[in-house]
Structure 1
């Protein structure tokens, strides 16, 4: 498959032009013009790039790329090492941040909801980034959901607030979306699930009566890239593999 065609297909699939983001989405580093093998992962770390080099991949697809608004633009240190490795081995890098969070089927939020068996009822927050719906069982408490999520994600989550509260509506947004907690409460959530937690989040959970569940940034965002790998293999016949590199957060 031609690199340009793959880029166009990914941009269309993830509806990139529609979304406002604080990083460039799409092709971030241009490599060889023909693509047969794609390695998908969460972050364009040196470890993932080394894995791509060792596996002779033509392109890498990630959720967290190399360039972010407000970054120091100098190519030094770890950024130089990552770029040098990609360019020296003619490997392309595709990165999709909010577009991968928001896709209705392949996105991180969609995939986390499907993994947990949550029935989606609507969206909330900026650009509809947050999701809200019903848990797999009507009698589940916040504590029950914390145990279930921990088992599914293979990581112990942090639950703040009333563990005994019955969760009739669960809201979620993967990654570092603790800032949407108040909007989740206003949307009618009995529990809000995200990846990270901040100091002020604890007070809001205690004072509002709505528990907050921090399930891990990496842990909640593994599933979009994996779904894209499966899509690329099924739709275009590419060898597309997902690798989950260890990350404790």
Structure 2
């Protein structure tokens, strides 16, 4: 498939025009015209790009790409090395950030909900159907220890739990990655627990003082599954060769 045709299909499928994002979504670095073999991963780091070179891939597809708002625009150092490797080897780079968080079937939030058994899913911000934060419930109430164990089993990473004081967890809100500040909205709605990837110093006090359990499950760990689901969709629907590579990241 031609690289720009693939970009158009992904752009439309993920509805990138619906989002004001912190980076460009879609084809970020152009490579060879024909794409057949794709390497996917969470972040377009040098290690992932090097594996794509070794496996003679035509494209890399990630959640975290390049050209973030507020970063230095100069292409030097680490950024230069990454882009140089892509261009010298004719590798296309596709990146989808918020569109891949929010997609109702393949998105990071949707995939995490499936892994954890969360039902009745809806936007955390009811006025915004594309809210990055989500809310739902468990079929049976869980203790904080049980939910912590469920997260660890699903993500192969022990979460950091901040005790919110409630004995049982029935309702739950979540936002993968760096969505810890959605805890305020969740707490104001009386939700029992909030799950995200990262944690900030302030998050601890919010959880304790507003009475909501908080689970920091890891930015990387909570965002591995959207890009894998998208890669499987590409393999099934577009009949391209897609391989997911997990570059370990403890954060």
Fold match, TM over 0.5? yes
Whether 2:141 is the aligned partner of 1:160: answer: no
User: Secondary structure of the equivalent of 2:202?
Assistant: helix
Aligned match of 2:200 = 198
Partner of 1:16: 16
Paired residue for 1:82?
Answer: 82
Deviation readout 1:135-157 (Å, 9 max, x if unpaired): 2x422112210111011111110
Q: Which runs of 5+ in 1 are unaligned?
A: none
Q: Is the 8 A contact 1:45 1:82 kept in 2?
A: yes
Aligned to 1:134: 137
Residue 225 of structure 1 pairs with residue 223 of structure 2: no
How far 1:243 moved relative to its partner? 1.0
Match in the other structure for 1:58: 58
Deviation digits for residues 34-84 of structure 1, max 9, x if unmatched?
000111100000000001000111001000001100111111110000000
Cross-structure match for 1:208: 210
* 1:96-134 residue CA offsets vs partner (Å, 9 max, x unmatched): 100000000000000000111110331124741111111
| Aligned equivalents of 2:45, 2:120: Cα separation in 1 | 32
Q: Distance in 2 between matches of 1:160 and 1:46?
A: 34
When residues 163 and 153 of structure 1 are mapped into structure 2, their CA distance, relative to the original with a 3 A threshold, is farther
Please say if residues 166 and 192 of structure 2, whose CA atoms lie closer than 8 Å, have aligned partners that are also in contact.
no
Shift in Å, 1:164: 5.6
Partner of 1:246: helix, strand, or coil? coil
Once residues 65 and 120 of structure 1 are traced to their aligned partners in structure 2, the CA distance between those partners, rounded to angstroms, is 32
Structure 1 residues 163, 150: CA separation in 2 closer, same or farther (over 3 Å shift)? Answer: farther
Separation in 1, partners of 2:164, 2:124: 23
Kept after mapping to 2: 8 A contact 1:38/1:59: yes
Q: Which runs of 5+ in 2 are unaligned?
A: none
Distance in 1 (CA, whole Å) between partners of 2:145 and 2:191 is: 15
Cα-to-partner distance string for 1:173-203 (whole Å, 9 max, x where unaligned): 0000011110112233200000000001000
User: CA–CA distance in 1 between the matches of 2:91 and 2:24?
Assistant: 18
1:174 counterpart = 2:176:
yes
**TM-score, normalised relative to structure 2:** 0.96
Distance 1:162 1:180, change over 3 A: closer
Given that 2:53 and 2:89 are in contact with CA atoms closer than 8 Å, whether structure 1 keeps it comes out as: yes
Q: Is the 8 A contact 1:113 1:120 kept in 2?
A: no
Matched-pair contact (CA < 8 Å) for 1:120–1:131: no
Q: Report the equivalent of 2:122.
A: 122
Q: Which residue of 2 aligns with 1:38?
A: 38
What is the CA deviation profile of residues 1-46 of structure 1, one whole-angstrom value per residue up to 9, with x for unaligned ones?
A: 1111100000011110011111111110000010001111000000
